[in-house]
């Protein structure tokens, strides 16, 4: 039996409870970030102005129903040997058309409302995928900094197989550690 006063016993019990709470919380966080969430750092400016170089992102691998507007992190092999962070523009079966004269992107003939882009899409060089239908199991992605982004328009990237999508962005932690919910 514990030899000491009741106060010492209460203090020891309280300390044990506090340590147990922190250990349980640390274990829960470790499990969540191992199986459900990941952190990723933005490398480059292809998603400006939405995301900037150095932003930390929290992504979820649980979301598999990608739709227009989702920002996803892709590990699909590419010649640049980079993990890509891009916005989903179209999903399987949808037709993507880019009008380089007017700088607009259309999906199934409907012009996209894109308030998030840095500037309209005028860069045509190196574009291999235009006026094309997205194959089954794939998505068509583009960076928000359209004229400075290597994305699904390029033969180096092409369509993204959804099996290579690591996750969808949930939160952005800026370099100053301000947290922003992914409403982009």
CA 53, 144, 80: angle at the middle one, nearest 5? 60
Q: Which residues contact 104 (CB under 8 A, 6 or more apart)?
A: 98, 111, 112, 120, 121
One domain, residues 73 and 121: yes
Rg of the chain in Å (alpha carbons):
23
One domain, residues 18 and 74: no
- The confidence score (pLDDT) of residue 46 equals 92
CATH number of domain containing 43: 2.10.109.10
One domain, residues 84 and 162: yes
Nearest of 103, 147, 99, 96 to residue 126 by alpha carbon: 147
Burial letters for 159-179: b for 16+ Cβ neighbours within 10 Å, e otherwise? Answer: bbebebbbbbbeebeeeeeee
What does DSSP say about strands 138-142 and 56-60: parallel, antiparallel, or unpaired?
unpaired
- The confidence score (pLDDT) of residue 138 equals 96
Q: Which residues form the catalytic set? A: 46, 86
One domain, residues 31 and 52: no
C-alpha of 29 from chain center? 20
One domain, residues 134 and 53: yes
One domain, residues 134 and 54: yes
pLDDT one-digit tens code per residue, 106-142: 999 999 999 999 788 877 766 667 788 999 999 999 9
One domain, residues 3 and 89: no
pLDDT one-digit tens code per residue, 158-173: 899 999 999 999 988 8
Within 10 angstroms of residue 73's Cβ, the number of other Cβ atoms is: 20
Nearest of 36, 35, 28 to residue 170 by alpha carbon: 36
pLDDT one-digit tens code per residue, 29-41: 777 776 777 888 9
Q: How many domains does the chain have?
A: 2
Residue 23: what are its φ and ψ, rounded to 5°?
-65, -40
One domain, residues 25 and 54: no
Q: What is the mean pLDDT of residues 55-68?
A: 88
Q: Measure the CA–CA gap between 46 and 150, rounded to whole angstroms.
A: 8
- The confidence score (pLDDT) of residue 59 equals 92
One domain, residues 21 and 99: no
Task: Report residue 75's pLDDT band, with 50, 70 and 90 as the boundaries.
Answer: confident
- What is the pTM for the complete model shown? 0.79
Q: Find the domain containing 5 and state its range.
A: 1-35
One domain, residues 13 and 55: no
One domain, residues 133 and 82: yes
One domain, residues 100 and 166: yes
């Amino acid at each position: 039996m514990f030899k000491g006063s009741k106060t010492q016993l209460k203090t020891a019990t309280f300390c044990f409870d506090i340590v147990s709470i922190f250990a349980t919380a640390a274990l829960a966080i470790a499990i969540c970030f191992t199986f459900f969430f990941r952190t990723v750092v933005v490398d480059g400016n292809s998603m400006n102005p939405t995301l900037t170089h150095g932003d930390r992102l929290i992504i979820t691998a649980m979301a598999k129903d990608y739709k227009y507007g989702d920002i996803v992190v892709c590990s699909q092999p590419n010649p640049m040997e980079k993990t890509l962070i891009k916005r989903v523009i179209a999903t399987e079966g949808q037709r993507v058309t880019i009008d380089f004269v007017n700088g607009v992107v259309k999906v199934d003939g409907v012009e996209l409302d894109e308030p998030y882009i840095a500037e309209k899409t005028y860069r045509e060089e190196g574009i291999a995928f235009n006026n094309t239908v997205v194959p089954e199991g794939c998505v068509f992605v583009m960076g928000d900094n359209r004229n400075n982004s290597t994305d699904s328009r390029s033969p180096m990237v092409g369509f993204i197989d959804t099996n290579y999508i690591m996750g969808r962005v949930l939160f952005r932690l800026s370099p100053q550690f301000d947290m922003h919910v992914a409403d982009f």
